[in-house]
């Protein structure tokens, strides 16, 4: 066993003395673009497996994971149990939810995937039902900063700087992009005026684990106030998976029925949020691949661009955004 894995087991047995002397296999879990490290601890003698998460303070949302877990558990959302938490050593021991996420089921038939997506949307509806007015200031202090015009603008600039400028090499400040910039401004202003609820913030297929017929959520440390449609767009326009227009429409209709919402109103804001979310994703893929040594994120750019192109065609007053990305990946 590697020395660093031995050290992890020493820490773990300090938290769980009953595991002293129990053999354990340590498995590294490779996960996304996070600066956190995950290890699956597989104990012998029938002891329950667990996941050890070690985080840093480099991101302000990392320490929010445990409070967010407790908050989501209170409203009945499917999230892992926290077995132990060492705030000084930046370690969290969690229930092991298994290895199957929505992305890993991408090649299965729609008849198999659809009920799992519906289960995922039911989980989202639990925290989307918590509106801003129901939260105290103490509640808000536990969350990440809410979506407002400034945050929407930050995401848009992230897209412009890293994808349009960095990846595509376009001078997006030129006059030819003035109409597209005006569209960006109107988009963020409109979204910022809408009522807000609790949102996951990174509600994509890798962050939904499947156990049986149920969906379980992870990576929700970015929990904050925002629009439910932003989460819906993250899931239904996820570049990591393949969903057809018909399948997206079916799931959006299911969510509207489940929450008793007007489908047309939901769809209108959904496309606005989808444009916003996909621009953020493209900025992230470009930044991760060009600046952070993770070139494998380049493979997701074509799908994200295709999704954004579709959104600009389907959504109202979004077509000018295509000037930023048409004709290039």
Q: pLDDT digits over 174-219, tens only?
A: 999 999 999 999 999 999 999 999 999 999 999 999 999 999 999 9
**Would you state the structure tokens that stand for residue 154, as one six-digit string?**
């930050």
**Would you state the structure tokens that stand for residue 105, as one six-digit string?**
């089921």
The whole-angstrom distance between residue 43's C-alpha and the CA centroid of its chain comes to 30
CA distance 285 to 300: 7
CA distance 45 to 24: 9
What separation in angstroms does the CA of 316 have from each of 16, 56, 268, 303, 321?
A: 56, 41, 7, 21, 11
The domains found in the chain, sorted by start residue, are 3-95 (3.30.200.20), 103-324 (3.90.1200.10)
pLDDT, one tens digit per residue, over 13-65 is 999 999 998 999 999 998 766 789 999 999 998 889 999 999 999 889 999 99
CA distance 232 to 197: 13
Residue 205 contacts residue 235 (beta carbons within 8 Å)? yes
What separation in angstroms does the CA of 176 have from each of 161, 169, 202, 296?
A: 17, 15, 32, 32
pTM of the model: 0.95
**Would you state the structure tokens that stand for residue 15, as one six-digit string?**
């938290």
CA distance 306 to 174: 24
pLDDT, one tens digit per residue, over 120-174 is 999 999 999 999 999 999 999 999 999 999 999 999 999 999 999 999 999 999 9
What separation in angstroms does the CA of 101 have from each of 48, 59, 205?
A: 20, 24, 7
pLDDT, one tens digit per residue, over 206-258 is 999 999 999 999 999 999 999 999 999 999 999 999 999 999 999 999 999 99
pLDDT of 328 > 80? The answer is no
Q: What is the three-class DSSP state of 206?
A: helix
Q: What is the three-class DSSP state of 1?
A: coil
Please tell me the predicted confidence (pLDDT) of residue 132: 95
Please tell me the predicted confidence (pLDDT) of residue 229: 98
Cα angle for residues 74, 76, 81 (degrees, 5° grid) = 75
């Amino acid at each position: 066993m590697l020395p660093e894995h031995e050290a992890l087991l020493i820490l773990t047995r300090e938290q769980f003395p009953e595991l002293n002397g129990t053999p354990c296999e340590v498995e590294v879990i490779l996960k996304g673009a996070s600066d956190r490290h995950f290890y699956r601890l597989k104990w012998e003698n029938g002891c329950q497996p667990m996941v050890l998460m070690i985080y840093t303070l480099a991101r302000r949302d990392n320490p929010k994971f445990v409070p967010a877990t407790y908050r989501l558990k209170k409203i009945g959302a499917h999230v892992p149990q926290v077995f132990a938490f060492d705030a000084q050593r930046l370690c969290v021991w969690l229930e092991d939810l298994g290895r199957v996420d929505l992305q890993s089921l991408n090649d299965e038939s729609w008849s198999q995937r659809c009920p799992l997506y519906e289960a995922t949307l039911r989980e989202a509806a639990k925290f989307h039902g918590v509106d801003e007015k129901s939260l105290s200031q103490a509640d808000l202090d536990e969350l990440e900063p809410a979506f407002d015009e400034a945050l929407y603008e930050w995401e848009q600039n992230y897209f412009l700087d890293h994808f349009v400028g960095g990846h595509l090499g376009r001078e997006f400040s030129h006059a030819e992009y003035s109409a597209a910039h005006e569209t960006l401004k109107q988009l963020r202003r409109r979204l910022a005026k809408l009522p807000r609820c609790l949102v996951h913030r990174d509600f994509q297929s890798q962050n939904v684990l499947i156990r049986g017929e149920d969906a379980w959520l992870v990576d929700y440390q970015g929990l904050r106030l925002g629009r439910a449609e932003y989460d819906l767009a993250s899931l239904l326009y996820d570049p990591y998976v393949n969903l057809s227009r018909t399948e997206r429409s079916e799931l959006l209709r299911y969510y509207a029925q489940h929450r008793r919402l007007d489908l047309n109103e939901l769809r209108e804001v959904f496309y606005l949020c989808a444009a916003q979310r996909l621009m953020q994703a493209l900025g992230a893929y470009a930044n991760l691949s060009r600046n952070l040594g993770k070139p494998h994120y380049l493979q997701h750019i074509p799908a994200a661009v295709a999704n954004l192109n579709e959104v600009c065609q389907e959504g109202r007053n979004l077509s000018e955004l295509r000037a930023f990305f048409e004709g290039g990946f």
